[in-house]
Structure 1
Amino acid sequence: MATLYGVGVGPGDPELVTLKALRLLEEVPVICAPRSREEGESLAGEVVASLLGEKLRSKELLLLYFPMTRDRKVLEEAWREAASQVVARLRRGKDVAFVTLGDPSFYSTFPYLRQAVLALAPETRVAVVPGVSSLSSCMALGGVWVQEDERLAVIPVTGDFSFDSWLNEFDCLVFLKGGRHWGRLREFLAARGFLAQARLVERCSTPEEKVRLAAEVEKAPYLSQVIVHRSRF
């Protein structure tokens, strides 16, 4: 049985892809990239295309559809469909690299695909190649750091805003995909006196990247991270 690799390609800037990830992408015959719309593009796939250039022509590129929904049945069906395509290649002896933005172990689609693949083919070998996470990239761009005994909280914004106590327990908080519920998150921070200490990082590690004072932002792109630091800002 061939090997399924979960490969992190960083937050979007091809220059932040690791040497190990690049070597592996050059070696494997099949590369899979996720997309959230059936006819849409893949951000991770675009990173791969810019890295490999003409070398990509010699490989099979699969764009796997993972819908943006919280409907568990819809998601599980998508995972099974994607896994069946991957397993078909693995059973032909072809190693497969599934690329994901950031790091495969850090809020990515890869764990779901891995589980679905192992359900169909338990003998599959699985390996993970870590990547630079969006968290690291956004903190670097925003000029934010944590040190000594400072405490860091990483919070995926899902619509559940039951984290009041965290604002006082942690020195730095990073809200992942904060643009998804920015209106509510902005009101939440303002009501608790933390909006002035927040920065919003948009489209980090892309040509459109920017850091803005959160208090000045009315609308934010989906791929935005919000950083609150109680003493740095």
Structure 2
Amino acid sequence: MSMDGINLDGVSVRYDPNVDELALNDITLRIPAGQFVCIVGKSGGGKSTLVRTLAGLVKPSQGSLTVGGKAVEGPGEDRGMVFQEDTVFPWLRVQDNVEFGLRARSMPKQERSRKAQEWLAAVGLADAAGKWPRELSGGMRKRVALATVFATEPETLIMDEPFGALDFVTRSVLHSVLLDLWRQTETTIVFVTHDIEEALVLGDRILIVSDGGILADLDCPLPRPRLEDERSSPEALAITREIVRRLGLSAGTPEGPA
């Protein structure tokens, strides 16, 4: 695993060269390897553009970007991405979904089968290998997506509101699954969310993105696991108040930025 992490120097993104408005505006950012960073902010503020740039799906208009010490020129095997949309292939059984990325890397059949089974067990789906995605709940399909991306052993995992469409209970369970996988693999994770509490549960650090820039960079040193007592502690409430203040939201906003 590279120790270089993620480095952005003066990165800007302009989608339309004929328009002055920037989707990202002169962002300089350092994310150490192995850190879990959450990104919050209002819709249209640049969160998705930032993570898609990290993934190599959007090319910077200016500035430099490296991940693991290598310049990002496009998507790469060192970076995995999980979207909010269901990305499980409905025409493949669960194990074949998990093996898909491994097959693309020409991994021998026996080895990729073993690895797929290991990761399905890691996300609690050891008994679902032969099922079709239509037989699974939304939360179980998201576990398949996690197993699929972790099986490829990316150094960096980029997650764009992956649990946003799930109910509270399912989302809470998946938080535990994701944190277990993160601790086991020491993968660098960049996680976009609209939910302030979700950021408090997951992040070592919380970035507030607004108008294409980093509005604030907050440490989140709450002890883990972050159960209800930790999330309602004075330290957690102070972080929540700071995010709410920075975004100009009402203190009564329950779910974070809309």
Tell me, yes or no, whether TM beats 0.5. no
TM-score (norm 1): 0.30
TM-score (norm 2): 0.27
